[in-house]
Amino acid sequence: MAQLARLIGRKESGAFYLAWAREHQKQFNDEMWDEKHDCLYETIGPRGPVSGLSPGQLLAASLPPAVLQPDLAERLVATIERVLFTPLGLREAPGAEQVSAAWLGPFITAHLRARRRAPDAHRQAHEWMVSLLRRSGNLLGRLPAAFRVGLNGTAAGPDAELAPIACGAEPTSIIAAAELLRVWIEELDRSHMGSEAGAPA
């Protein structure tokens, strides 16, 4: 709203909405951050905050502008990488065997922003994407809604380098394919091309 107000020449309205957004951001960081677990609370209920960890918390660090302040975003991404990340996607909860490739898009975006788009962060993100493409080459363009993995992050089953789990009547995830394509174009390919041309990533 602040940006729209500025574009149409209403600077006072823009300043109001920007101040409102900053107040909302401060309140969110103060109330939703779980200092003990280096992540966000899952919800604030009648009896107070409820601890937990899920991929959805990435939205606080990946959507622009990020609602989480930079130092907290970096800690959140590190926690999610340690607890939920696998080469095939993100676990739905700590210890879960089912992972979703669709959450790799927000995860990589949040990872790059939390690391301030440092070159090593780009290299790591590129390696994750290449690893997924190698593992799922025969499913490219029709990624399943979910994979089943073991506790160590590898696909479960004797021949389950790819172990798609059908989700309803349609096992293919359009969201996963779209998110991975978005990340490749907006985050990785663009920065690579910009670096070659001498432009800032």
**pLDDT value of position 60:** 97
| pLDDT tens figures, 14-44 | 999 999 999 999 999 999 999 999 999 999 9
Cβ–Cβ contacts within 10 Å for residue 171, how many? 15
**pLDDT value of position 88:** 86
CB burial of 135-163 (b: ≥16 within 10 Å; e: otherwise) equals bbeebeeebbbbbbbeeeeebeeeeeebb
**pLDDT value of position 183:** 93
CB 180 within 8 A of CB 132: yes
What 3-state DSSP class applies to 33? strand
**pLDDT value of position 158:** 33
| pLDDT tens figures, 77-136 | 999 999 999 988 999 999 998 899 899 999 999 999 999 999 999 999 999 988 887 776
**pTM exceeds 0.85 for this model:** no
What mean pLDDT comes out for the span 2-25?
Answer: 92
Residue whose C-alpha is closest to residue 104's, from 147, 66, 151: 147
| pLDDT tens figures, 150-171 | 655 554 433 344 444 434 434 7
Residue whose C-alpha is closest to residue 76's, from 93, 92, 57: 57
**pLDDT value of position 191:** 53
| Window from 65-69, 113-117, 141-145, 152-156 with minimum mean pLDDT | 152-156
Position with higher pLDDT, 66 vs 144: 66
